[in-house]
Amino acid sequence: MKKFIALMATLVLTLGLVGISDARQPRQQRDSVAGTFDYYLLTLSWSPTFCLMHPENEQCSGKGYGFVLHGLWPQYAKGGWPESCPPLTPLTQQERAKGLTLFPTAKLMNHEWTKHGTCSGLGGMGYLDAADKALATVQIPQALQPSTTVRYLEAKQIAQQFRQSNPGIAENGIAILCSGPELSEVRVCLTRDLEFGPCGKGVKTQCRAGDIRIPPIR
């Protein structure tokens, strides 16, 4: 009887530790399933601002980038996103070649595929084709093309410029992000069919009031 009680106590303790370990895992990570999401967030990074903080990055070697593809991110409408969805397979040589026509660096491409692309449920080439189509869907306003001179605009003016160039963008379908006083990113919400759509919970403009600085190209 004593052996049976000891055995049961060990089993209960083991199951309890497993439960604690499982509870400590981020809920978002446990729930991440490829293909299970509501919409995409196309994130365009203003390269000159990135290069102010990362001048050694190969993206910043005098290539004159303006907006570059940061990523195409599957999102949940109620907030949050899936990430690093299994199986975490690397991109093939053919897929990498395609990706390098879209992303400014191989390091960024590999990171975006592993963290976000795997959750699209499209496979490597399918995800990259979707990113290519998303980029073609959003037209960069003429006033925000690469320039050698610094410019100043309010966040709402930047959003307005994008809406004028892309009439389908909804009032709640775009967010402007800043790094301190400078433009950092523009995020556009797209449906799973890569058409303009509303953003989910938590996607909003994050810039100070008044003019924000748009650094010139490097």
The catalytic site residues sit at 70, 112, 116
For the chain, what's the residue count? 218
Residue with tokens 């975006």: 112
Which of 48, 33, 41 is closest to 71 using CA atoms? 41
Give Cα separations from 198 to 40, 77, 129, 206 (angstroms).
10, 9, 22, 17
Beta-sheet strands, E only, within the chain: 39-46, 67-75, 151-154, 174-179, 182-190, 211-214
User: 169: how many CB neighbours lie within 10 A of its CB?
Assistant: 19
Record the tokens describing residue 208, joined without a space: 């100070």
Record the tokens describing residue 130, joined without a space: 């979707």
User: What is the spatial distance between Cα 75 and Cα 145, in angstroms, rounded to a whole number?
Assistant: 28
User: What is the spatial distance between Cα 169 and Cα 160, in angstroms, rounded to a whole number?
Assistant: 10
Record the tokens describing residue 133, joined without a space: 């189509």
Q: Are 51 and 68 in contact (CB under 8 A)?
A: no
